[in-house]
Amino acid sequence: DIKLFQDWGFDLLKYDNCGVPYDSIVKEGLIGKYTRMAKAIDDLSKSSGKPPILFSLCEWGRAQPWIWARNLGQTWRTTEDIGPEWWILSKIINRNSFIAWASDFYGHNDMDILEVGNGQLTYDEAKSHFTAWALMKSPLLISTNLASISKQTLEILKNKEIIAINQDSVVGTSIIPFRWGINTAWTHNITHPAQYWSGQSQNGTVIMLLNVLDHPANMFFNLTESPWIRAGRQYHVRDLWTHTNNGTAVRNFTAHQVPPHGVVALLLTDAGDEPAGLWPPCARFEWCMDQNGTRLDNIGFGEGNEDTRRRRGWPALDAV
From the list 81, 104, 273, 307, the catalytic residue is 81
**Residue 105: closest CA among 42, 174, 198, 54:** 174
* SS3 of residue 163 by DSSP: helix
Residue 28: predicted pLDDT: 87
How does the average pLDDT of the chain come out, rounded? Answer: 92
Residue 296: predicted pLDDT: 81
Over residues 99-107, the mean pLDDT reads 96
Per-residue pLDDT reduced to its tens digit, 191-249: 999 999 999 999 999 999 999 999 999 999 999 999 999 999 999 999 999 999 999 99
Q: Residue 273, exposed/middle/buried by CB under 10 A (0-12, 13-18, 19+)?
A: exposed
Q: Using only the alpha carbons of the chain, give its radius of gyration.
A: 24
How many helices and strands, by DSSP H and E, does the chain display?
9, 12
Lowest mean pLDDT among 81-95, 107-121, 187-201, 275-289: 275-289
From the list 1, 7, 11, 16, the catalytic residue is 16
Q: Residue 50, exposed/middle/buried by CB under 10 A (0-12, 13-18, 19+)?
A: exposed
Residue 9: predicted pLDDT: 95
* SS3 of residue 231 by DSSP: coil
For residue 106, pLDDT over 70 is answered with yes
Query: Which one-letter DSSP state was computed for residue 69?
Result: G
Give me the torsion for CA of 177, 179, 182, 188, rounded to 10°: 50
Residue 284: predicted pLDDT: 87
Residue 134: predicted pLDDT: 98
CA separation (Å) from 305 to 120, 191, 279?
Answer: 54, 40, 16
Residue 23: predicted pLDDT: 84
Q: Check if 16 is active-site.
A: yes
Instruction: Name the pLDDT band for 291 (thresholds 50, 70, 90).
Output: confident
Per-residue pLDDT reduced to its tens digit, 260-270: 999 999 999 99
Q: What percent of the chain has pLDDT over 70?
A: 93
Per-residue pLDDT reduced to its tens digit, 152-186: 999 999 999 999 999 999 999 999 999 999 999 99
